[in-house]
Amino acid sequence: MADTMLTDAITDDTVWAEPKPTALLILADGTVIEGRGIGAVGQATGEVCFNTAMTGYQEILTDPSYAGQIITFTFPHIGNVGANDEDSETVNAAAASGVRGCVLKTDITDPSNYRALKDFDAWLKARGIIGIAGVDTRALTALIRAKGMPNAVIAHAPDGAFDRAALAKEAAAWPGLEGMDLAKEVTAGQTFRWDETSWVWNKGYGRQESPMHKVVAVDYGIKRNILRLLADAGCDVTVLPASATGADILAYKPDGVFLSNGPGDPAATGEYAVPAIKEVIAADVPLFGICLGHQMLGIALGGETKKMHQGHHGANHPVQDRTTGKVEITSMNHGFAVDSATLPDTVEETHVSLFDGSNCGLRVKDKPIFSVQYHPEASPGPEDSHYLFTRFINLMRARKGQAPLPEQPAPEAAA
C-alpha cells in the first residue's frame, strides 16, 4: 500500500506509515491480502479467478458467466476509460451479473474516454460490486496458478474495521462452485424477443427488420452481444429462460436452437437443462451451444464435465479448429470443461485449447449439432470466431435446401 505522510510538512523528522487497510481479501486457507476499498461497501464470498484481458473490464464485470466469482485483473490499469450505458452484457438487470467482486493492482483514475458517462468507482457502487485496489495481482495470479482457484471473502469497510476471524471462517465455510446451479440466479426468467443488432461507430445499435431464420435461445446467463450477432445474421430471436423444457423450446417450431453461456457447475444446472437439450437433439433441429451450453450439450450426448485447476479467463486464448486446421485467438471464461475422453464415438472433438489441450468444441457426426467452449461474440475479445455464427446459419439454410454462405475465415496460422 502507498505510504501516507503523518505530518504537515516534510522534514528530516517526517514519519511514514502504512494507512489502515479499508479492504481485505481473505482466502479459505487463512491468507489475508490488504488493500484499499473501492466500489460497494460490504462483504461477499466467491471463487477467486484471474482474467488476462487488457480491455473490456465493463463487459467482463457484467458477464453473467462470472456469477459467484471474484475477478483478479492481471492488467494493472483498470477503470481508466470509465463506464457507459452501452457496454453492459447482462440481460437480466435485476440480477446484475452475479460477480462477487474485483481485485485491482492500481487505483482507479479519472475516466479518459469520450464515451464515459461516469467514473468506474461510481459504476461499481451502483452495481453493488465490491472491489479492492493496491494488490500485488501478479503474486495472487501466481498463487492461483500453483494452487488453483481459492474460495475467499472480499470485504470493504471505509473505517477499516473488520472482524478478520469471522471473515476467515466465512471464507473457509463457503462450499465453492462445484454442485452450484447459478444459471437460475442470472437468467432473465421470462420469454422475450430480441432484434437489436451490433453497435456501429457513431451510430449505436441497430434493429433487425428482415429476419430469415427463427431461433430460440435458451438463457442460462446469455450476453447481449451474442443476441446481437444472431440478429446480425438474420435471426428472429426468441429468448426462453433456463428452466425451459424441450416442449417449451420446440413449441416455437424453431429453425435453430442456441444454448447460451452461463455460470456454475454444468452438472448442477444440467439436472433440469439436460433433459430439455436431449429432446431438442431428438428433434434433429440445428443446435449451437457455447460455454455452459456447450458443457451441458456434452453431458446430454453422453460425456462428462470436470472442474478445472485455474480455468480459462481472458481474451488471448489460442484454439485450433480441427475442422479447418486454423488457429483463432478467443475470449474465454470458464472453470469447468468437457472431458473429451468421455465423449462417445458419435461425437467429434472439433476444437482444442493450445494452452493445455482441453476440449473447446464438439459436433455430432450425423446431426446438425455443434458447440464451442469459448465466447465467439467477442465482447470483449477478438473477432476471430464470428464465423461460428455463419456455421450455425448454414445448418439452418441446409435444412431449408438453401445454398451455404461463405464463412468468415479465421486468421491464417500454423496448424
Topology alike, domains 4-173 and 183-399: no
The pLDDT of 57-72, averaged and rounded, is: 97
Q: What is the mean pLDDT of residues 381-397?
A: 97
Backbone angles phi, psi at 395, to 5 degrees: -65, -40
Our CA angle for 171, 187, 167, nearest 5°, is 10
For residue 7, what is its C-alpha cell? 505530518
Domain ranges within the chain, ordered by starting residue? 4-173, 183-399
Is 375 among the catalytic positions? Answer: yes
* Rounded-to-integer distance, Cα 355 and Cα 371, Å: 19
Q: Identify the band that residue 220 occupies on the pLDDT scale cut at 50, 70 and 90.
A: very high
Question: Does the annotation count 291 as an active-site position?
Answer: yes
On the question of a cis peptide bond just before residue 376, with omega within 30 degrees of 0, the verdict is no
Chain segment 156-214, per-residue pLDDT in tens:
999 999 999 999 999 999 999 999 999 999 999 899 999 999 999 889 999 999 999 99
Note the pLDDT of residue 18: 57
What is the average pLDDT across 266-291?
A: 98
CATH number assigned to the domain with residue range 4-173, chosen from the 4 options 3.50.30.20, 3.30.2270.10, 3.40.50.10140, 3.50.50.60: 3.50.30.20
* Catalytic-labelled residue, pool 235, 294, 377, 386: 377
Q: Which of 291, 313, 334, 351 is catalytic?
A: 291
Q: What is the pLDDT of residue 32?
A: 97
How many percent of the chain have pLDDT more than 70?
Answer: 93
- Bridge partners (DSSP) of residue 307 are 336
Is pLDDT at 296 greater than 90 in this prediction? yes
What confidence score (pLDDT) does residue 202 get? 86
Kindly report the number of other CB atoms within 10 A of residue 347's CB atom. Answer: 22
Which tens digits make up the pLDDT trace of 308-364? 999 999 999 999 999 999 999 999 999 999 999 999 999 999 999 999 999 999 999
How far is it, in rounded angstroms, from Cα 308 to Cα 290?
17
The pLDDT of residue 3: 30
Cα→Cα distances 93→98, 221, 375, Å: 10, 11, 21
> Residue 15 above 50 pLDDT?
no
b/e 173-207 (16+ beta carbons within 10 angstroms → b): ebebbeebbbbbbbbbeeeeebbbbeeeeeeeeee
pLDDT of residue 153: 98
Can you tell me the distance from the alpha carbon of 311 to that of 413, in angstroms, rounded to the nearest whole number? 25
Taking 3-state DSSP, the helix, strand and coil percentages for the chain, each rounded to the nearest 5, stand at 25, 30, 45
Report the sign of the C-alpha dihedral through residues 334, 242, 267, 247, in that order.
negative
- 3-state class (DSSP) for residue 37: strand
Nearest to 163, CA basis, from 175, 155, 173: 155
> How large is the average pLDDT for residues 58-65?
96
CATH of domain 183-399: 3.40.50.880
The pLDDT of residue 5 is above 50: no
* Residue range 16-31: mean pLDDT, rounded: 86
- Give the CA count within 13 Å in the CB-facing half-sphere of 359: 29
Q: Which helix (H) or strand (E) holds 171?
A: helix 164-173
What is the value of pTM for the model shown? 0.93
Whether residue 73 has pLDDT greater than 60: yes
- Across the chain, mean pLDDT equals 93
CB 128 within 8 A of CB 93: no
DSSP β-bridge partners for residue 244: none
- Answer yes or no: is pLDDT of 8 > 70: no
pLDDT at 9: 32
What pLDDT does residue 94 have? Answer: 67
**Residue from 156, 294, 317, 375 carrying the catalytic annotation:** 375
What pLDDT was estimated at residue 87?
93
One-letter identity of residue 369: I
Confidence of residue 215 (pLDDT cuts 50, 70, 90): very high
Whether the CB-CB separation of 365 and 346 falls below 8 Å is answered with: yes
pLDDT for res 414: 32
pLDDT classification of 409: cutoffs 50, 70, 90? low
Overall average pLDDT of the 94-109 stretch: 89
Q: Which of 131, 141, 89 is nearest to 106 (CA)?
A: 131
The pLDDT of residue 2 is above 80: no
The rounded Cα 265 to chain-centroid distance in angstroms is 14
